[in-house]
Structure 1
Amino acid sequence: MRKVLILLVSVSMLLTVFSSPVLAKKNHPSTEGNTNISSIVTYDEMIDELKSLEKRSKGELEVFTLDELGYENSQSEQNRDLYVAKIGNGPEKVWIQGRIHGNEPYGTESTLKLLKMYVQNQSPKYQKVLDELTLYVIPMYNPDGSEMNIRHTELSESGDRIDLNRDWTEEGFEAVESKAWYSYWADVQPDFGIDIHHQGLKTDPETEEAITMSLGVSLAPGGPTLPNIKDGLYEDVTRQAQVHVYDSLKDYGYTNIDRYTVGNSSNGFSEIDIHGGVVSAMMLGLNYDNLNEDHHSHPAIFFETSGNTRDGNLGQRARGHNIKQNVLGLQELLHGLATDEVYDADPERWAEIPMPDTIGYQTDHSGFIPIEN
């Protein structure tokens, strides 16, 4: 039986995919850091690109807002529309979200380029994906934070800043964006999910080589939570998906991949087991406000690409390459889901993906949990 993944990602095989009218900028978001962000796609430019792709797709790509679908909560705190791009006709639903953190732009840029690939290229490989999968792509989950170039969003009444990636909890949903996207997710009921993020600059502690991407699961395989969900099904599928991505990218030039960890060599590295993260809530089958009464859930993974606007380290050359590696990772993962190749991967090979020695799990539910030897 095929399992599906929600892909929440920042991600080309063809150079033409990376030439786009959205690179010509006029109005740019503010910056609180030192990065020149004049080449980063803005909210308005995202809309223009989505509408252009929809027009060129001859009916294959649907672009719409949650407001157009009639949702009660349908706009951001600052009244920006929330956009979705839907493509494909397959029975398996894949949710791909980007830029939940406003100062992590690769999610928007990578998903736009991914959509452009499927609109422009009619190769059998791409057609296989569209025949077997239906993609629900959210290029800019957090438009307000994106325009302000900050990680969070700001509540319209209080001005408090909310991390949208920690707002899917029974006690959360403080931001209207969280309520809007959760309601839509509960209606779509995806089969798999990917989230695209950035991390700070990172090096391999042994080789001291720069890491360009970290592959992660927000409920750690082998950790305190994931093995107990669906009799360990999601633990296997998330590892298989990341192994598939690793095998697809490890020989790609100037790419150095590891598993996602937090901490440092001085204080020790840890894996994360975060119940409050959006993709964690998806795997846990969160039922908020009785919108998900059957506790629908699905496996989900995330990509963490090195470099972000808050650290001033989005060099133009590195940025272009990192977007390409993310697009390629998305493309290969989607094709692997469409062909079932993902499920042929050995989940135990997750251990082959480089990772520093870890001392435990950082959680938002039980504090720090040391690894038992």
Structure 2
Amino acid sequence: MTKNNRTTSIRTASGRRLAGVGLAMAALVAPTVALASPAAAQPATAHCGTSTGDTATSSWTSHAEMAKELRLLASQRSDVLDVTRIGTSNRGREIWAARTGTGPKVVLVTSEIHGNEKTGTEAVLSLLRSMTAPTPEAERLRSEVTLVAVPKMNPDAAELDRRGNDRTWAEVVADFPQLAGARPAWNYYTRAQGGDDYAARPGFDVNRDYHPNLDYVPQAKDFPGSSAGPGWYVNPESQAVRDLYKSLKAEFGAVDSYVDLHHQGPCYLDENGEAQVTMSLSGKFVDVENHQEYNRGYRLDYSKQLTLAAFDKLSAYGRSPFGSLTLYPQDIDLPGTGLGSFALNGSGTVLFEVRGQTQSWGAKQRGQLVKTVEHGLTGIIEAVGSGAAQQIDPDRYDEIPETAR
């Protein structure tokens, strides 16, 4: 653990401190969503290029606003919710986690590891409001699962509204002197990308900084690495989530499920070329045969079952924007992602890829997209809690429509 990851807590009235889950701002989520067809819901124009477009940054919850909302919810529901600082970003912003439930199965959720992918943060706060509510349904879910969420886990990138964090290679070497003389990591951004000038403020794609060996110590011989290999935990943001994951494993014996909330391009079509894709899903992130030295109980079928739990929940809404779902490309092998690393450690893992980052999509269809994420997460939590996930036929996974790319 680096100096950035000293842990503090917002404690409950009883003095308990729990290990963490996150959220986002429910007040900004539209309360109702029209069940129009995907075509009808599609705006007339979409920015499908790579340059900066309608970011609509003010429409999304800032880091300071999120902290305020977390504190408020923790004070309102102190009997069932704990909020904890699990670390700080490279620029000193708190990385918050929130936790609710006492069930034996842990569902860990992270959002905004890429700072221009913001719907997940909003959806998690809305989910926590419903999960901590004094209702029979929420009480049942809390008795079945322990929900732990880390919203806006890359706050420096979120405040800059860009993919990468705000950290130089020189700062990495200062924290890890054994890397002096090593070539910078392959995922270190120093040039313009996605409309952002990393030459002025370099940073890393934190979602390539994970390693399946949760105790890995960076070594110069492992740099610059590649997308086909593990990462290094050289960034405080990935270290914070890694340390949280390890603490949950120590407490529960395993982290049952891990869901990471992302965005993709705004203009993908389904496999028939007819409908705009609202969200893509995936339960596969590594080719396990390439990483057997790190295999600690890889469960691809369970990841497929969890993916189908989200898919089925959303498909139940019928022909609506929630139903325009596809399978994320399966020809990927990314052990340096949180999903890949935690899958190799035995967790069921699911990727959500909502349409459009802020530079290409702004806040268009904001309410619909946030609710899509929230409903999908609810489907997974319900299936994990009841045990229904393990009754789903994993072979149905291959029947999810593919994306036309």
Bin the TM-score by the shorter chain: 0.7 to 0.9
Equivalent residue for 1:167? 209
Change (3 A) 1:101 1:239: same
Equivalent residue for 2:247? 187
Equivalent residue for 1:149? 161
Equivalent residue for 1:248? 313
- Aligned equivalent of 1:55, options 75, 92, 101: 75
Partner secondary structure for residue 153 of structure 1: coil
Please tell me the residue identity of whatever aligns with 2:321: Y
Q: Does the alignment pair 1:92 with 2:105?
A: yes
Rounded Cα–Cα distance in structure 2 between residues aligned with 1:95 and 1:315: 26
The Cα shift of 1:16 comes to: 10
> Is the CA contact (8 Å cut-off) linking 1:63 and 1:85 kept in structure 2?
yes
Rounded Cα–Cα distance in structure 2 between residues aligned with 1:108 and 1:229: 30
Residue-by-residue CA offset, 1:109-145 (whole Å, 9 max, x unaligned)? 110110011123513x322210011111101110000
TM-score, with length taken from structure 2: 0.69
Equivalent residue for 2:264? 199
Residue-by-residue CA offset, 1:271-300 (whole Å, 9 max, x unaligned)? 212111111111223xxxxxxxxxxx3221
> Is the CA contact (8 Å cut-off) linking 1:63 and 1:86 kept in structure 2?
yes
Q: Does the alignment pair 1:258 with 2:326?
A: yes
Equivalent residue for 2:94? 81
Partner secondary structure for residue 332 of structure 2: strand
Rounded Cα–Cα distance in structure 1 between residues aligned with 2:303 and 2:167: 33
Change (3 A) 1:77 1:222: closer
Please tell me the residue identity of whatever aligns with 2:381: L
Please tell me the residue identity of whatever aligns with 2:270: D
The unaligned stretches of length 5 or more in structure 2 are 1-20, 32-50, 172-200, 217-221, 223-231, 250-254
Rounded Cα–Cα distance in structure 2 between residues aligned with 1:333 and 1:150: 29
Q: Does the alignment pair 1:37 with 2:57?
A: yes
> Is the CA contact (8 Å cut-off) linking 1:10 and 1:327 kept in structure 2?
no
The Cα shift of 1:79 comes to: 0.5
Equivalent residue for 1:331? 378
% identical equivalent positions: 27
Q: Does the alignment pair 1:301 with 2:367?
A: no
1:209-358 equivalences in 2 (<5 Å): 209-219=275-285, 229=295, 234-252=299-317, 253-255=320-322, 256-261=324-329, 271-285=331-345, 297-311=346-360, 313-316=361-364, 318-355=365-402
> Is the CA contact (8 Å cut-off) linking 1:9 and 1:303 kept in structure 2?
no
> Is the CA contact (8 Å cut-off) linking 2:23 and 2:98 kept in structure 1?
no
> Is the CA contact (8 Å cut-off) linking 2:22 and 2:97 kept in structure 1?
no
Rounded Cα–Cα distance in structure 2 between residues aligned with 1:344 and 1:303: 22
> Is the CA contact (8 Å cut-off) linking 2:281 and 2:307 kept in structure 1?
yes
The Cα shift of 1:51 comes to: 0.9
Change (3 A) 1:118 1:76: same
The Cα shift of 1:184 comes to: 2.2
Rounded Cα–Cα distance in structure 2 between residues aligned with 1:10 and 1:273: 29
Please tell me the residue identity of whatever aligns with 1:254: P
The Cα shift of 1:39 comes to: 1.0
Equivalent residue for 1:368? none
> Is the CA contact (8 Å cut-off) linking 1:17 and 1:116 kept in structure 2?
no
The Cα shift of 1:216 comes to: 1.1
Change (3 A) 1:17 1:90: farther
Residue-by-residue CA offset, 1:4-44 (whole Å, 9 max, x unaligned)? xxxx9999xx999756xxxxxxxxxxx95432221100000
> Is the CA contact (8 Å cut-off) linking 1:155 and 1:162 kept in structure 2?
yes
Q: Does the alignment pair 1:65 with 2:85?
A: yes
> Is the CA contact (8 Å cut-off) linking 2:22 and 2:149 kept in structure 1?
no
Please tell me the residue identity of whatever aligns with 2:156: D
Please tell me the residue identity of whatever aligns with 2:256: D
Change (3 A) 1:65 1:118: same
Rounded Cα–Cα distance in structure 2 between residues aligned with 1:337 and 1:15: 27
Equivalent residue for 1:361? none
Change (3 A) 1:149 1:315: closer
Partner secondary structure for residue 272 of structure 1: coil
TM-score, with length taken from structure 1: 0.75
The unaligned stretches of length 5 or more in structure 1 are 1-7, 20-30, 67-73, 262-269, 286-296, 359-373
- Aligned equivalent of 1:107, options 120, 128, 133: 120
> Is the CA contact (8 Å cut-off) linking 1:97 and 1:139 kept in structure 2?
yes
Residue-by-residue CA offset, 1:159-212 (whole Å, 9 max, x unaligned)? 531111000135422212222221222111222110000111111242321010
* Number of residue pairs matched by the alignment: 307
Please tell me the residue identity of whatever aligns with 2:132: V
RMSD of aligned Cα (Å): 2.9
Please tell me the residue identity of whatever aligns with 1:78: R
Rounded Cα–Cα distance in structure 1 between residues aligned with 2:326 and 2:287: 15
Partner secondary structure for residue 120 of structure 1: coil
> Is the CA contact (8 Å cut-off) linking 1:199 and 1:304 kept in structure 2?
yes
The Cα shift of 1:48 comes to: 0.8
1:116-135 equivalences in 2 (<5 Å): 116-123=129-136, 125-135=137-147
Partner secondary structure for residue 83 of structure 2: strand
Rounded Cα–Cα distance in structure 1 between residues aligned with 2:93 and 2:275: 41
